[in-house]
Amino acid sequence: MQADVVIIGAGPAGLLLGHKLRRAGIDAIIIERQSREHVLGRIRAGVLEQVTVDLVEEIGLGARLKQEGLAHHGFYLADGERLIHIDMQGLTGKSVVVYGQTEITRDLMDAAPERGLEIVFEASEVALHDIETNKPFVTYLKDGVEARVDARFIAGCDGFHGPSRRAMPQSVGVGYERVYPFGWLGILADVAPCSDELIYANHDRGFALASMRSHTRSRYYIQVPTDETIEHWPDDRLWDELAIRLGPEVAERLTRGPAIEKSIAPLRSFVFEPMRHHSLFLAGDAAHIVPPTGAKGLNLASSDVAYLAAALIQWFEDGKSDGIDNYSQTALKRVWKAERFSWSLTSLMHRFPDAGAFGRRMQVAELDYIAESRAAQTAIAENYVGLPL
Ligand code: FAS
Ligand code: PHB
């Protein structure tokens, strides 16, 4: 097969990029390892910056997002004794939208056929070839038959474990990583949320997050040790722990119910530089990972796609290459600022085994400062709503 751009991965990055390119008349095809059902079954992000909302609306697929998305104008930081409100709208004039990543993925997948965006699901042995030439190609197996797509560019949107980043020569790139000594145990339940706005709690026993997907579906997380397994966390134990960590005032409003999804995600900060090598571009988790504390993962995938789509459209329309030549540097500027914010909020809100009593006092003092400083709250708010593109 021939295409202008072959995209590896049908997550948010690959789907958003594919739709942006097709809308500009550029011939793109997506090669995805998993089945459609598997991709849609992954419960992940829940908070969208305006950058992501704008991108979905630009490709004309924002109808359900507009109808079902919940606008959130603030959120809370809790330390067991009090709730500190971060008034994003009042401090920055901006808000975020709560709408599950799964829903975005569904909207983008459903619209692909009518937009001429081909997605090959359940492709195995995906391999990248000749990425240092102007005629790269991708091979894969589908139903046991080898296939090949020749293209001018390859977009690696295949997440942290995909082949694209690894296709770059060792000598070309460098990875920066921080692995955290804990993970997040997440639960999805069809119960009313305990709060109208998200609550990030730093408790002596560990971090907890109260989030949601709708007025009838809640999403909660607690910090757990890296070697924890969900077998150790029957629903009742998890609800009891959430009630303790979110604090007595919130616990009174906590509605319990059976978990419809329960999973543990490891936490790491990771950035790979550069995000381009000749005909190969990286976007989204293929290039960087953030701890979900700052709700940046999906939103960084969106900003990468905003930059990369504009650069590729410029190249195909005008033959100019300054966009693609500057892509990596431009995208990384925003990536690193989001990495800093995610690392900072993770450091503030989690219990670190080796931080000791002094480290705990530093966290309490910082929360005390934030509670009393409009400047500190504004700094948090403008990072949470998303820095400008
Ligand atoms: P994705 O990982 O979503 O998509 C990559 C796609 O490439 C996948 O569909 C995969 O199947 C495919 N792929 C992989 N290898 C391939 C191969 N060899 N060939 C073809 N295809 C291949 N972010 C938040 O903002 N908030 C959260 O709460 C949050 N929770 C998360 C929980 C978990 C468990 C994980 C892993 C991530 C979470 N994230 C969260 C981050 C997440 O939302 C990502 O930032 C987002 O999915 C990034 O989108 P993509 O870059 O498209 O990567
Ligand atoms: C979620 O609702 O899944 C969610 C919200 C905010 C975060 C992380 C996850 O920071």
**How would you write the pLDDT of the chain (389 residues) with one tens digit per residue?**
999 999 999 999 999 999 999 999 999 999 999 999 999 998 898 999 999 999 999 999 999 999 999 999 999 999 877 899 999 999 999 999 999 999 999 999 999 999 999 999 999 999 999 999 999 999 999 999 999 999 999 999 999 999 999 999 989 999 999 999 999 999 999 999 999 999 999 999 999 999 999 999 999 999 999 999 999 999 999 999 999 999 999 999 999 999 999 999 999 999 999 999 999 999 999 999 999 999 999 999 999 999 999 999 999 999 999 999 999 999 999 999 999 999 999 999 999 989 999 999 999 999 999 999 999 999 999 999 999 99
Q: Are residues 323 and 360 in the same domain?
A: no
Give CA–CA dist 198/180, Å, rounded. Answer: 23
Q: Are residues 159 and 274 in the same domain?
A: yes
CB count in 10 Å sphere of residue 88:
23
- The answer, yes or no, to whether any atom of ligand 2 lies below 6 A from the CB of 47, is yes
Distance (angstroms) between ligand 2 centre and the Cα of 320 equals 39
Q: Are residues 103 and 172 in the same domain?
A: yes
Supply the CATH number for residue 9's domain. 3.50.50.60
Give CA–CA dist 300/305, Å, rounded. Answer: 9
Q: Are residues 61 and 202 in the same domain?
A: no
**CA angle, corner 229, sides to 105 and 178, nearest 5?**
70
The answer to whether residues 117 and 22 touch, using CB atoms and an 8 Å cutoff, is: yes
Question: Is 88 part of a structural domain of the chain?
Answer: no
Give CA–CA dist 389/387, Å, rounded. Answer: 7
- What is the pLDDT at residue 225? 97
Choose one of 31, 101, 122, 261 to mutate for the ligand 1 pocket test, by most ligand atoms within 8 angstroms of C-beta: 101
Distance (angstroms) between ligand 1 centre and the Cα of 269 equals 14
Question: Is 235 part of a structural domain of the chain?
Answer: yes
Q: Are residues 108 and 169 in the same domain?
A: yes
Q: Distances from the Cα of 260 to the Cαs of 8, 186, 188, 190, in angstroms?
A: 30, 11, 6, 7
Question: Is 84 part of a structural domain of the chain?
Answer: no
Which of these, 80, 77, 85, 75, lies nearest to 247 by C-alpha position?
Answer: 80
Q: Per this entry, what is the length of the chain?
A: 389
Cis amide bond preceding 274, omega within 30: yes
Choose one of 226, 285, 342 to mutate for the ligand 1 pocket test, by most ligand atoms within 8 angstroms of C-beta: 285
Report the run of H or E that residue 153 belongs to, with start and end.
strand 153-156
Residue range of the domain that includes 215: 181-267+351-385
Token code pair at residue 163 = 């082949």
Question: Is 79 part of a structural domain of the chain?
Answer: no
- The answer, yes or no, to whether any atom of ligand 1 lies below 6 A from the CB of 44, is yes
5-8/153-156 β-pairing: parallel
Q: Among all chains, which residue has been given the structure tokens 């919130």? A: 250
CA 228 to chain CA centroid, Å, is 23
pLDDT tens digit string along 217-260? 999 999 999 999 999 999 999 999 999 999 999 999 999 999 99
Distance (angstroms) between ligand 1 centre and the Cα of 160 equals 7
- What is the pLDDT at residue 43? 87
Is the backbone of residue 76 left (phi > 0), alpha (psi -120 to 50) or beta?
Answer: beta
Q: Catalytic one among 12, 136, 193, 292?
A: 292
Distance (angstroms) between ligand 1 centre and the Cα of 360 equals 32
Distance (angstroms) between ligand 2 centre and the Cα of 371 equals 22
Question: Is 83 part of a structural domain of the chain?
Answer: no
Q: Are residues 160 and 187 in the same domain?
A: no
State which ligand 1 atom lies nearest to the alpha carbon of 15. Answer: 52
Ligand nearest to the CA of 345: 2
Ligand nearest to the CA of 37: 1
Question: Is 82 part of a structural domain of the chain?
Answer: no
- Number of domains forming the structure of the chain: 2
Residue 367 CB partners (closer than 8 Å, separation 6+): 77, 79, 84, 202, 348
Ligand nearest to the CA of 120: 1
- The answer, yes or no, to whether any atom of ligand 2 lies below 6 A from the CB of 211, is yes
DSSP code for 150 = E
Q: Are residues 359 and 310 in the same domain?
A: no
Give me the residues paired with residue 183 across strands.
224, 266
Question: Is 80 part of a structural domain of the chain?
Answer: no
DSSP code for 100 = -
Question: Is 372 part of a structural domain of the chain?
Answer: yes
Q: Catalytic one among 221, 296, 307, 350?
A: 296
Q: Are residues 240 and 374 in the same domain?
A: yes
Give CA–CA dist 241/248, Å, rounded. Answer: 12
CA 88 to chain CA centroid, Å, is 20
Q: Are residues 195 and 49 in the same domain?
A: no
Q: Are residues 202 and 311 in the same domain?
A: no
Q: Are residues 64 and 11 in the same domain?
A: yes
- The answer, yes or no, to whether any atom of ligand 2 lies below 6 A from the CB of 46, is yes
Supply the CATH number for residue 235's domain. 3.30.9.10
Give CA–CA dist 122/287, Å, rounded. Answer: 23
Q: Are residues 158 and 245 in the same domain?
A: no
